[in-house]
Amino acid sequence: MTAGNNGADTPENDDPFAYLYRSEGGEGGAQGSAGDGAAARQPGVPRTSYNQVRAVGQRQYGQQAPQQVTYGQQNAHYAAPETLPGGDRTRSAPVPGNGGPEPRRGRNGLLIGAVAVVAVVCIGIGVAMLTNGKDSKDDTAGKPGPTAGDTVAPDDKPTKKPAPGKLPKGDAGGLRLDGGATTAKDVPGARSSGGTYVGGMNTPGAAATWSVDVDVPGKYKLYVGYGVPGKDANLTLNVNGTADGRPINMENFAHAPEGAWDKGWTETWSYVQLNKGTNTVKLSCESGNQCDVNLDKVWLARS
């Protein structure tokens, strides 16, 4: 049986939408009205009133052929969103007075902010360093550290009771004088308070005794300020009742001309062993000494 003559209609060949255009005369091939334009059914003839199978896209249903659009050209049917009602609300406003798009400032702003913070921190550190340095200089300005000269300088005023940690010093005129030794002011240049010094030491037995207190026992340097008339001298040194085997040397270290008492002021020193507490140190003119000397100051220094 061929497709062109397959007898009565089968469900495969029946048009499911035939009732839309069939005549009301029934399935027996009744003709429709002339106004409907429907042809009479013929037995054994396949229906041709319904659409045949076509490839996708071949048939257009009441539409015009699609227009080809070339890339890069504007479509006539396209409308930009900003041209629609309310569409311009999504657009960013341009920079006033420039007309161009708003520049990107986020990253630049963060970079500038970071640089500013680092600069402020560096400036703060610099100011702090300068301030601390200035304070340190102000604290130490005019306050030189202790030197040997501070301890033994003959121009310092004597103190009977030195502050803790300082060693005693005094004017020779404040010592106990014996055997013809006496105070005087005739020779200028003495470095004691008021220019007073001890003279008359060139008499045998003349002596000047210093009572001195120390907190720590041990060896010290005994400094003696003196003046000679341009020639060497010496005296006997006695500590706590014991005479030193060597006299204390009082040379003409100032190189004064002979007879110039005012030019011969200088100083000398000798080691002494002292006990904790009060000690007696005596300078005396004994046999064998050259005692033509004046005394102006005495002081101790650590050895």
Residue 194 to residue 171: CA distance in whole angstroms: 10
- Whether the Cβ atoms of residue 229 and residue 259 lie closer than 8 Å to each other: yes
Confidence tier at 276 by pLDDT (50, 70, 90): very high
pLDDT of 228 higher than 70: yes
218-227 and 242-243: which strand pairing?
unpaired
Mean pLDDT of the chain: 74
**Who wins on pLDDT, 124 or 228?**
228
- CB–CB of 230/290 below 8 Å? no
Q: What is the pLDDT of residue 269?
A: 97
Pairing state between β 265-274 and 294-302: unpaired
Per-residue model confidence (pLDDT) at position 125: 86
Q: Find all residues with CB under 8 Å of 62, minimum gap 6, and list them.
A: none
User: Which domains does the chain show, CATH number per domain?
Assistant: 169-302 (2.60.120.260)
CA gap 263, 255 in Å, rounded: 8
Q: Are 294 and 198 a contacting pair, CB within 8 Å? A: yes
Does the pLDDT at position 182 exceed 60?
Answer: yes
Give the integer Cα–Cα distance in Å for 220 and 214: 10
Given a cut of 90, whether residue 95 has pLDDT beyond it is no
- pLDDT attached to residue 129: 79
The dihedral region occupied by 271, where left means phi > 0, alpha psi between -120 and 50, and beta the remainder, is: beta
Six token digits for residue 244: 């030193």
The pLDDT confidence band at residue 148, using thresholds 50, 70 and 90, is: very low
